[in-house]
Chains A and B, each alone.
Chain A
């Protein structure tokens, strides 16, 4: 239904005289009905990547590269056209912390109406709203409520419903379960799983490898603005290639069974003064002399890894 292809994408933020390279030459592609998980730590550029896909990077700009949706570039069309035909209709996004950005003085129904009006939706508004709210497992009584009357989990369901209302094929969800209680978190996850089963594709952005493994057919591991490893969930989790992926998978204590844990030294490099060569160099247990040079993109079974080890 929808295929997405990102080619050599570069997104930057301009500080006075410095450039922040938040997303640096990122490429990957998604077939229709595939869901993707983007994993990374804070400030690795994962949210910026999501924002770039819906072409709204506040304060930043897409400097280079291309985004193809069903084979057509979404960057070469005008902003008006993008807003009219793509954003919210084909691709929508659940922003990080969106549940706290519901307007406190309007009822939930009014806030849904606003979206439909802004997009000149001509069908039966009420039916559309009711269907959507039902699909996220909320009773229609919430429509007359105000945000403060809802719990965190209910608000998160409302924002997910908002992203779904114009029936997009692809929804980007940025940390949709962070800041929610564990039980509620699990319920939101099962909701996303259900929506996926019904044919929706998801791009899930998270720092939590566990959550990603519930949803993502493919996984991209992001480090300092780069996708350092990309592949199927099975491939990346069972046979991680990049030392950073290996470390991430071994940095979480397991709830069942014993686990040997690895703690990484140091911090990721600043996105302003990026080092030459591999960005993981300082923290990598396998660092070699040639890692001072830009690592090559090595093809793996179904994806790629940016690492000299596999040359």
Chain B
């Protein structure tokens, strides 16, 4: 590479072979290792919304915490904006300013004793961004970006706001440091249906305006499809299928993705007369880390599934970890 050439970082985040195990138990019980994230790799392109979808306990939030280095991974590496994330002060500072997080519950994620202005300003104070005189403008700008009226709202306290407004405040706080990546962990699941769309639209708009990439963590495939470009389906700590969102959801290759799609009830009067069929075997809770983890519930399981399936190409820009690969 010649000097002075601009390096275009196509991938804002890349995660390679990430592992995080937790040890459960104590007292009289036998110790048990939970593989919350098990050898997970994925990458997020700039200006893209990458969806990490899975049920509770699939490890999706653990991935977010690992990226922000809130917890230490067992092994694996995370490259953010061209640089590997390490425990160095400068590396941590970079990830913690340029990557922000929006949490699920806006009733818990903002401090009830702080005014909205101070909530949104706090990241600027912590990371010492801008002169204190400029900070006011930055805060106001962020509030306007999330469609809140700064003059009206800045001096209010969180209890005076609705759920949707609170979530907007949380989003305003996340954009003050001009992040390149925002991790949104179920940002609409606590909100009423009628205000969800507004937040989803806002995410799209912020992406267009500021070129922010999003890691959208959810169990709700409908909202995922609305904001997402690429999706990875997580099952017990492993990615079982990944690809462009419409390809994966509309033509699943992995039986688990298919089961998830089967389980969605859309508002359709025809549902009433139909039987609800989910292509899945009776769930037996197996914490078997041998072979395919979905094996016990999979209606297509074959003998070979006792071996561990790897993510393999399964069409254009997509891969699935399945020996059967349904069509």
Known A186-B262, A213-B269, A255-B264; contact A264-B55, beta-carbon cutoff 8 A? no
Known A183-B280, A213-B268, A213-B271; contact A262-B197, beta-carbon cutoff 8 A? yes
Contact A233 B269 (CB under 8 A): yes
Contact B192 A207 (CB under 8 A): yes
A238 CB, nearest partner CB in chain B, Å: 6
A279 CB, nearest partner CB in chain B, Å: 14
Known A213-B271, A238-B269; contact A193-B276, beta-carbon cutoff 8 A? yes
Residues of B within 8 A of A214 (CB): 265, 271-272, 276
Contact B223 A253 (CB under 8 A): yes
Residues of A within 8 A of B55 (CB): 181-183
Contact B201 A263 (CB under 8 A): yes
B residues sitting closer than 8 Å to A (CB atoms) are 55-56, 162-164, 192-198, 200-201, 219, 221-223, 225-226, 249-250, 259-269, 271-272, 275-276, 278, 280, 283, 285
Residues of A within 8 A of B275 (CB): 190, 193
Closest 9 CB pairs of A and B: A186-B263, A210-B265, A209-B267, A253-B226, A263-B197, A41-B192, A263-B198, A181-B55, A264-B194
Contact B219 A237 (CB under 8 A): no
A63 at interface by CB-CB < 8 Å = no
Contact A210 B264 (CB under 8 A): yes
Give the interface centre of A186, A209, A217 by most chain B CB atoms within 10 Å. Answer: A186
Contact A183 B272 (CB under 8 A): no
A171 at interface by CB-CB < 8 Å = no
What number of A residues sit within 8 Å (CB to CB) of B? 43
Contact B164 A190 (CB under 8 A): no
Residues of A within 8 A of B163 (CB): 42
User: Could you tell me the distance between the alpha carbons of A189 and B193 in the complex, rounded to whole angstroms?
Assistant: 20
State which of A181, A190, A248, A262 has its C-beta within 8 Å of the C-beta of B278: A190
A185 at interface by CB-CB < 8 Å = yes
Contact A207 B193 (CB under 8 A): yes
User: Could you tell me the distance between the alpha carbons of A8 and B308 in the complex, rounded to whole angstroms?
Assistant: 62
User: Could you tell me the distance between the alpha carbons of A85 and B195 in the complex, rounded to whole angstroms?
Assistant: 43
Task: Classify the interface of chain A: helix, strand, loop or mixed.
Answer: helix
Contact A190 B276 (CB under 8 A): yes
State which of B197, B266, B278 has its C-beta within 8 Å of the C-beta of A261: B197
B243 CB, nearest partner CB in chain A, Å: 16
B264 CB, nearest partner CB in chain A, Å: 5
State which of A237, A247, A263 has its C-beta within 8 Å of the C-beta of B269: A237
Least CB separation from B199: chain A residue: A263
Residues of A within 8 A of B266 (CB): 210, 213, 252, 254-256
Residues of A within 8 A of B197 (CB): 251, 253, 261-263
Pick 30 A–B contacts, CB within 8 A, sort by A.
A41-B192, A41-B194, A181-B56, A182-B219, A183-B260, A183-B263, A186-B276, A186-B278, A187-B283, A189-B276, A190-B278, A193-B275, A193-B276, A210-B264, A211-B265, A212-B267, A214-B272, A217-B272, A234-B269, A237-B268, A248-B193, A251-B193, A252-B196, A252-B266, A253-B197, A253-B200, A253-B223, A255-B225, A256-B266, A263-B198
Contact A183 B267 (CB under 8 A): no
B149 CB, nearest partner CB in chain A, Å: 13
User: Could you tell me the distance between the alpha carbons of A54 and B117 in the complex, rounded to whole angstroms?
Assistant: 46
A215 at interface by CB-CB < 8 Å = yes
Known: A210-B265, A213-B266; 18 extra A-B contacts, CB below 8 A, are: A153-B283, A181-B56, A182-B55, A182-B219, A186-B278, A187-B278, A209-B193, A210-B264, A233-B272, A251-B193, A251-B197, A253-B197, A254-B266, A255-B221, A255-B261, A256-B266, A262-B197, A263-B197
A267 at interface by CB-CB < 8 Å = yes
Give the interface centre of B192, B201, B221, B283 by most chain A CB atoms within 10 Å. Answer: B192
State which of B56, B193, B263 has its C-beta within 8 Å of the C-beta of A41: B193
State which of A186, A211, A216, A256 has its C-beta within 8 Å of the C-beta of B250: A256
A14 at interface by CB-CB < 8 Å = no
A101 at interface by CB-CB < 8 Å = no
A151 at interface by CB-CB < 8 Å = yes
Residues of B within 8 A of A151 (CB): 285
Known A41-B193, A261-B197; contact A216-B265, beta-carbon cutoff 8 A? no
Residues of B within 8 A of A212 (CB): 267
Residues of A within 8 A of B271 (CB): 210, 213-214
Residues of B within 8 A of A238 (CB): 269
Residues of B within 8 A of A248 (CB): 193-194
Least CB separation from B196: chain A residue: A251
Residues of A within 8 A of B278 (CB): 183, 186-187, 190
Residues of A within 8 A of B195 (CB): 263-264, 267
Give the interface centre of A41, A183, A211, A256 by most chain B CB atoms within 10 Å. Answer: A183
Contact A251 B194 (CB under 8 A): yes
Residues of B within 8 A of A42 (CB): 163, 192
A287 at interface by CB-CB < 8 Å = no
